[in-house]
A and B are shown apart, each in its own frame.
Chain A
Amino acid sequence: MSVVARFEIRYTQFLDPQGNVVAPLPEFARVPQDLVALYRWMVLMRAYDAKAIALQRTGQINTFASLLGHEAFNAGIASAMAEDDVFLMTYRENGVQLMRGVALRELFLYWGGDERGSDYAGPRRDFPICITIAAHAPHAVGVAYAMKLRRERRAAVCALGDGATSKGDFYEAINAAGAWKLPVVFAVSNNQWAISVPRAKQSAAQTLAQKAIAAGIECSQVDGNDVIAVRSAMDEALERARAGAGPTLIEALTYRLSDHTTADDATRYRNPDEVAEAWKRDPIVRLRAHLTASGAWDKAAEDALLKDCNGQVQAAAQEYLDTPPPPPAQMFDHLYARLPAALARQRAAALGDG
């Protein structure tokens, strides 16, 4: 018997939970202003998240999926992507959307139950939020195929959760992306919980990253609460994609600090001690510690930032609340490029003029 193949999974971390630098920083992370910019986005995400939950609890938006704890994952992805790349997302990547130009008001509109929230002025080629788990992974393959066919230096980035890696769509997608060496990055936020099912029950695989090995594509694991690690892995993966070297799967280890959604109560299935431990790895706290230690941040800056973020989300929430509901015709008017005659009759009946 002989060994025909061996594999290893790399793990990357630059900042430990206390904000100490544990590995030589990549170029971008040596410029304090750039890290401060990422920090500002992450704090805005958290302010947005808190406001969205408040709006839901007071009946002003519908079920909301919090991104609490996922700020580094979101900021790392968005800061690495180029404007003309295409992002395909789940419901926990509102932070990426924000950084790519989707307005806060549009995010509230989406969660408020209004399709116009996915018709943003921002990244016009990005896909709408995919609720059905992993179904957008094959979409990313198609997007990347189109980019490769046209010889573009663009890439598709597909964000998924740990639960998604159990689905056939995920395997079919990474397999095909590898076979065609497509410019696509699969970024998995392993937040340890798929609603109530913990990571250990999801798969016997030691890492989720290693699922990429079966598909013959590059992979690595990163500390998903370390924005520098996420960004650095995304930079490398996107460079590989643009150079024609094929797809990458990144497993970002993080933790869902919130309930699955506002319709969930995680205390039914999750040990509070585990959650308390996870808070010690908060992505925002560690970046702030690092920035403070390096002299790029102080309490005055923090106070000003919080005030600014809260002001932004308040104003956006008000804008959303002031937006009149869509006319009933909206149900029909964008279903087809041209409204079929059979549907025109239903539309007229629904509007009361049929």
Chain B
Amino acid sequence: MALITLVEAINLALKREMEHDPAVVVLGEDVGVDGGVFRATAGLIERYGAERVIDTPLAEGLIAGMSIGMAVEGLKPVAEVQFSGFGYTTIDQVLNHAGRMRHRTQGRLSCPLVLRMPCGAGIHAPEHHSESPEAMFAHIPGIRVVYPSSPRRAYGLLLAAIRDPDPVVFLEPTRLYRLFKEEIADDGKALALDACHTTREGADVTVVAWGAMVHESLAAADALAEQGVSAEVLDIATLKPLDMDTILASVARTGRCVVVTEAARTCSFASEIAAGLAEEGLLSLLAPVQRVTGYDVVVPLPRLEQRNMPDKGRIVDAVKKALAFG
């Protein structure tokens, strides 16, 4: 067991898979000699060499596109896009090719790649370094979108993503990279994909979140507990395909739901969950579903970023609104 951070857990999972599967290669900008700008790939090139830990030319479309070529040809590429704000040019490759390869060849070819992207705001980064593009990726058929919220989940979900036979966009909350540590046994045990995790049990309201917002929701749940409100916190973990059953079952017990995302509100993934509840869980609901989201604004620069990101206070307010309804 080791007490490690989320970014160290990513590193540990990468090492483990590179050690056990010679088909696994890591590629991206500065992932080799430099060990990645966040150090997620530190130590890999020393152990596995420059042929498997590949410093690419500075071209994100290339990184995504060549990962597709590698994956189809039998490697298991784990590519890093340095920041998700630079990842929009990969959408062409993910949408038009990675997500379609298996289908359009009727299973003749497949595309088992992982595209890792540091995501989210809250680290006082420059423009384009604080994006939350998860809903854009979640709209794409044929892929998985995974977003861990803790070191343990990051380790288990990344193992699962690398072993998965289909493309996975793996979003990593930069804000949580070094915020806290967890004990992790490097046992190679993958977590299930396509499943929500009940991170905290509660009876009065279900708070649904992913990535850094899980952390914020847990803080809100602590504050609510002091006020006598029992909040259940679900970590979506895999946004696509979504485990709606776990959300519906939770809301069937609590009767109220607050969905939290730091992404812009319109067409956010929170909207998808709210729509799912309206369709399938209406009779369980004692109050309208509340969305706590970033505003429909350009992600603010650091001096204002905290004003856009949902925090404990906004989540608590939304829960209270849901509790006060009716």
Is the CB of B182 closer than 8 A to any CB of chain A?
A: no
Would B51 and A149 count as touching, CB distance under 8 A? yes
Would A125 and B73 count as touching, CB distance under 8 A? yes
Could you tell me how many residues of chain B have their Cβ less than 8 Å away from some Cβ of chain A? 46
Would A141 and B62 count as touching, CB distance under 8 A? yes
Which residues of chain B are near A130, meaning CB under 8 Å? 97
A139, A144, A343: which contacts B68 (Cβ < 8 A)?
A: A139
Would A340 and B241 count as touching, CB distance under 8 A? yes
Which residues of chain B are near A137, meaning CB under 8 Å? 65
Residues of chain A in range 128-157 having any CB-CB distance to chain B below 8 Å: 128, 130, 132, 135-147, 149, 156
- Known A135-B96, A179-B57, A343-B241: A334·B106 in contact at CB below 8 Å: yes
Is the CB of B274 closer than 8 A to any CB of chain A?
A: no
- B100: min CB distance to chain A, Å: 9
Would A336 and B61 count as touching, CB distance under 8 A? no
Is the CB of A116 closer than 8 A to any CB of chain B?
A: yes
A118, A125, A175, A340: which contacts B104 (Cβ < 8 A)?
A: A118
Would B142 and A140 count as touching, CB distance under 8 A? no
- B199: min CB distance to chain A, Å: 21
- Complex CA gap A12/B96 in Å reads 36
- Complex CA gap A158/B75 in Å reads 19
- Complex CA gap A88/B97 in Å reads 13
The interface residues of chain A, by DSSP majority, are classed as helix
Would A132 and B92 count as touching, CB distance under 8 A? yes
- B279: min CB distance to chain A, Å: 12
- Known A143-B70, A146-B69: A138·B61 in contact at CB below 8 Å: yes
Which residues of chain B are near A120, meaning CB under 8 Å? 108
Is the CB of A81 closer than 8 A to any CB of chain B?
A: no
A143, A149, A173: which contacts B72 (Cβ < 8 A)?
A: A143
Would A334 and B245 count as touching, CB distance under 8 A? no
Which residues of chain A are near B59, meaning CB under 8 Å? 168, 172, 175-176
Which residues of chain A are near B96, meaning CB under 8 Å? 132, 135
Which residues of chain B are near A119, meaning CB under 8 Å? 105-108
A115, A142, A147, A341: which contacts B106 (Cβ < 8 A)?
A: A115
User: Which of A139, A142, A149 lies at the interface centre, i.e. has the most chain B CB atoms within 10 A of its CB?
Assistant: A142
A115, A124, A138: which contacts B62 (Cβ < 8 A)?
A: A138
Which residues of chain A are near B244, meaning CB under 8 Å? 342
Is the CB of B218 closer than 8 A to any CB of chain A?
A: no
Give the interface residue-count category, chain A.
35 or more
Would A142 and B71 count as touching, CB distance under 8 A? yes
User: Which of A147, A149, A173 lies at the interface centre, i.e. has the most chain B CB atoms within 10 A of its CB?
Assistant: A149
Bitwise interface map of B from 84 to 121 toward A, beta carbon under 8 Å scored 1, else 0: 00000000110011000111111111100000000000
Which residues of chain A are near B64, meaning CB under 8 Å? 138
Which residues of chain B are near A336, meaning CB under 8 Å? 102, 142, 166
- Known A149-B25, A175-B57, A342-B242: A142·B105 in contact at CB below 8 Å: no
Which residues of chain A are near B61, meaning CB under 8 Å? 138, 168-169, 172
Would A139 and B66 count as touching, CB distance under 8 A? yes
- Known A135-B65, A342-B242: A124·B108 in contact at CB below 8 Å: yes
- Known A169-B61, A172-B57, A343-B241: A146·B74 in contact at CB below 8 Å: yes
Residues of chain B in range 32-69 having any CB-CB distance to chain A below 8 Å: 51-52, 54, 56-57, 59, 61-62, 64-69
Known: A336-B166, A342-B242; 10 extra A-B contacts, CB below 8 A, are A118-B108, A128-B101, A130-B97, A139-B65, A140-B69, A168-B61, A173-B66, A176-B57, A334-B103, A335-B142
Q: Which residues of B contact A (CB under 8 A)?
A: 25, 51-52, 54, 56-57, 59, 61-62, 64-75, 77, 92-93, 96-97, 101-110, 141-142, 165-166, 194, 241-245
Give me the 6 closest cross-chain CB pairs, A-B, nearest first: A142-B69, A138-B65, A142-B66, A340-B241, A119-B106, A139-B69
